[in-house]
């Protein structure tokens, strides 16, 4: 009898013992969905339990969590990194990669290299690392692309994108999170014929390059399946494009120009509907062809319609777009028409805020919302409105933007926990029920 009771306990514990990873930008499927079970319904009084804290320096990049490891990048400098720096002054320091134990926060290895920033908002790296098949991939703000052995930190290969492709760093640095697809590491680079480049992820050698534009923008490439074909979506500052991810061949392009090269959000797809949007009312809905790799424009946004994100990627669900607009309004938009259904400042900065930022992560029937004020919110979003369930002050806002202090880094959700950083610390907090 004791044997069967023990076996029953083990079997019922299995679903809760399984832990998901968050190996890169927006999670394992790059869709900002957290699929773990056994997560709390609301934050306890005094907040959830902090499992560990680790010191970090400045950076906008989020943590990656996989295979028992956490990888984070930062910029270590004695300079004042708060200026907007549209004059592209020089800020000297070192970009650093830290690999930590996901359970304890103990540092397993570090690597750094000299870096001189000449970008606006010189606060640190932008791109979340990728952890994949025993390797770690990082891209710094000035175009330093590295592949490391995940266990040892040994450099497997590296590229200098500026030098190799004869380009300058974009105004806000290299910020489009690289995408791993099979043996390819796909990056937004820039230059003539090399807006998008696919590297062999094991050797760093170029596999293909594609397209020309005034700049690469900041939008991360995305893989979808539409028209019976796997397609690579690339939104550069002049158009949204569908490519063959294996060859770089351009299947289709729909003109979608940006203001000041601000293609930033990741293209989002719901069924056959594709949405992109950015600063200065630059947004569009594109319909994907159901039988072949092709697309056509449905509508363009106007001043009083759609949503225009700056530092965040919207979430598409049940015929609606939920995203944070340019002045910090979380908006709900009817995807068919672009008509705004409602808006609220509460789950962002609480008031109008230029380039206001919150990150929306879906978990079951609710969202975990990481705000620029350092709060983590559990909330529900529907066409009826925004419903706040629970709120907790997760981090101190330490970065400077438009005269206020912010946290713009995207957290990771793994191991029934949240991993989040500001410019002082990386924390791991249990969100287990």
SS3 of 124-163: the string is CCCCCCEEECCEEEEECCCCEEEEEECCCCCEEEEEEHHH
Q: What local confidence, expressed as pLDDT, does residue 15 receive?
A: 41
The 10 Å Cβ neighbour count of residue 212 is: 13
Chain-centre distance of CA 268, in angstroms?
A: 13
By CB atoms closer than 10 A (0-12, 13-18, 19+), residue 277 is: buried
Cα 243 → chain centroid: 21
Report how far residue 211's alpha carbon sits from residue 90's, in angstroms, rounded to the nearest whole number.
Answer: 30
State the pTM of this model.
Answer: 0.95
Which tokens in the block code for residue 127? Answer: 């791109």
**CA atoms of 13 and 83, how far apart (whole Å):** 51
CB 199 within 8 A of CB 164: no
Q: What is the mean pLDDT of each run of 10 residues along the chain (433 residues)?
A: 45 52 98 98 97 98 98 96 86 98 98 97 97 98 98 98 97 98 98 98 98 96 97 98 98 95 97 97 97 97 96 98 98 97 98 97 98 98 98 97 96 98 98 97
pLDDT of residue 18: 58
Residues whose CB falls within 8 Å of the CB of residue 30, separated by 6 or more in sequence, listed in order: 24, 179, 220, 222, 223, 266
What are the structural domain ranges in the chain? 19-39+52-165
pLDDT of the residue at 25: 98
CA 317-318-320 angle, to 5 degrees, is 65
Predicted confidence at residue 8, as pLDDT, reads 44
Contact partners, residue 66, CB within 8 Å, separation at least 6: 21, 22, 23, 131, 132, 414
Report the chain's terminal Cα–Cα distance, integer Å: 30
User: What pLDDT shows up at residue 248?
Assistant: 98
Give, for 53, the enclosing helix (H) or strand (E): strand 50-55
| 16 φ, ψ (degrees, to nearest 5) | -85, -20
Give how far Cα 218 sits from Cα of 126, 169, 261, 320, 392, Å: 10, 11, 8, 24, 30
Characterize 284-317 residue by residue with b for buried, 16 or more Cβ atoms within 10 angstroms of its Cβ, and e for exposed: bbbbbbeeebbbeebbbbeeebbbbbbbbbbbbe
Please identify which residue in the block is written with the tokens 């009084």.
45
Q: Is 425 helix (H, G, I), strand (E, B) or coil?
A: strand
Q: Residue 355's closest CA among 315, 391, 407, 413? A: 407
In the sheet that 184-188 helps form, which strands lie side by side, from edge to edge?
179-181, 184-188, 196-200, 206-210
User: Element (H or E) spanning 356, and its range?
Assistant: none
pLDDT at 85: 82
pLDDT for 83? 84
What pLDDT is attached to residue 348? 98
Q: Domain 19-39+52-165 classified CATH 2.40.10.480?
A: yes
Report strand pairing: 239-243 vs 229-236.
antiparallel
How far is the C-alpha of 49 from the C-alpha of 429, rounded, in Å? Answer: 6
């Amino acid at each position: 009898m004791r044997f069967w009771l023990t076996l029953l306990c083990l079997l019922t514990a299995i679903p809760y013992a399984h832990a998901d990873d968050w190996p890169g930008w927006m999670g394992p499927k790059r869709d900002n969905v957290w699929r773990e079970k056994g997560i709390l319904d609301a934050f306890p009084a005094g907040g959830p339990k902090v499992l560990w804290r680790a010191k970090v320096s400045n950076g906008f990049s989020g943590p990656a969590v996989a295979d028992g490891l956490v990888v984070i990048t930062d910029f270590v400098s004695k300079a004042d990194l708060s200026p907007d720096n549209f004059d592209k002054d020089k800020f000297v320091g070192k970009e650093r990669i830290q690999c930590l134990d996901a359970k304890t926060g103990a540092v397993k290895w570090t690597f750094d290299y000299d870096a001189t920033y000449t970008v606006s908002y010189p606060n640190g790296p932008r791109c979340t690392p990728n952890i994949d098949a025993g390797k770690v991939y990082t891209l710094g703000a000035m175009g330093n692309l590295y592949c490391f052995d995940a266990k040892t930190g040994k450099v497997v290969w590296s590229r200098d994108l500026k030098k190799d492709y004869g380009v300058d760093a974009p105004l806000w640095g290299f910020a489009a999170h690289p995408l791993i697809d099979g043996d390819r590491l796909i990056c937004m680079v820039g230059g003539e014929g090399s807006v998008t480049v696919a590297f062999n992820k094991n050797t760093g050698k170029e596999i293909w390059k594609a397209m020309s534009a005034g700049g690469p923008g900041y939008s991360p490439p995305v893989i979808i399946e539409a028209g019976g074909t796997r397609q690579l979506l690339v939104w550069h500052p002049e158009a949204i494009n569908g490519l063959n991810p294996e060859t770089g061949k351009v299947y289709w392009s729909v003109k979608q120009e940006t203001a000041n090269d601000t293609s930033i959000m990741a293209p989002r797809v719901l069924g056959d509907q594709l949405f992109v949007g950015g600063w200065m009312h630059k947004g569009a809905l594109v319909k994907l062809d159901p039988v072949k790799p092709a697309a056509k424009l449905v509508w363009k946004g106007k001043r009083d319609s759609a949503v225009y994100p700056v530092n965040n990627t919207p979430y598409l669900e049940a015929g609606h777009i939920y995203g944070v607009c340019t002045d910090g309004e979380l908006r709900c938009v009817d995807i068919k028409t672009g008509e705004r259904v409602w808006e609220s400042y509460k789950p962002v900065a609480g008031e109008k805020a230029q380039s206001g930022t919150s990150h929306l992560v879906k978990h079951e029937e609710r969202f975990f919302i990481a705000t620029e004020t350092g709060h983590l919110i559990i909330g529900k979003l529907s066409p009826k409105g925004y419903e706040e369930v629970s709120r907790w002050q997760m981090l101190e806002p330490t970065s400077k933007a438009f005269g206020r202090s912010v946290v713009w880094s995207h957290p990771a959700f793994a191991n029934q926990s949240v991993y989040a950083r500001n410019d002082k610390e990386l924390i791991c907090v249990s969100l287990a029920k």
